[in-house]
Homo-oligomer: A and B are copies of this chain.
Amino acid sequence: MPHIANTPKPPYYAVIFTACKSAQQEGYARTAERMFALAAQQPGYLGHETIGDELGSITISYWESLEAIDSWRDHAQHQEARRLGRERWYEAYAVRICKVQRERRSA
């Protein structure tokens, strides 16, 4: 169940990460959990939403600026996790970087 991130009024930024998992998932869950905790400590982090099953996942993280997104991309531990993802855990993936312009939500 996705927790709905408590983001501020737009504009802010979103990173949409969509992945199809490979058959090899050893170490994935532990690393994913570590990366969520580490992302939440980064400057400019605003929240995230994620849902997944054995076959794939969609994760959206929200950020104050493109600079914050780039810094997180370049974080050493995140770079190592991304490398493992590319080499082992993901059959295919897409990363989309977006500017959130409008938001509406249930009361």
Residues of B within 8 A of A2 (CB): 18-20, 56-58
Residues of B within 8 A of A95 (CB): 103-105
Known: A16-B16, A53-B53. A100 touches B105 (CB 8 A): no
Residues of B within 8 A of A102 (CB): 96-97
Residues of B within 8 A of A49 (CB): 18, 58
Does A37 sit at the interface, judged by CB under 8 A?
no
Report whether over half of chain A's contact residues are helix, strand or loop; otherwise say mixed. strand
Please list the residues of chain A having a beta carbon within 8 angstroms of any beta carbon in chain B: 1-2, 4-5, 7, 10, 14, 16, 18-21, 49-53, 55-58, 60, 66, 86, 90-106
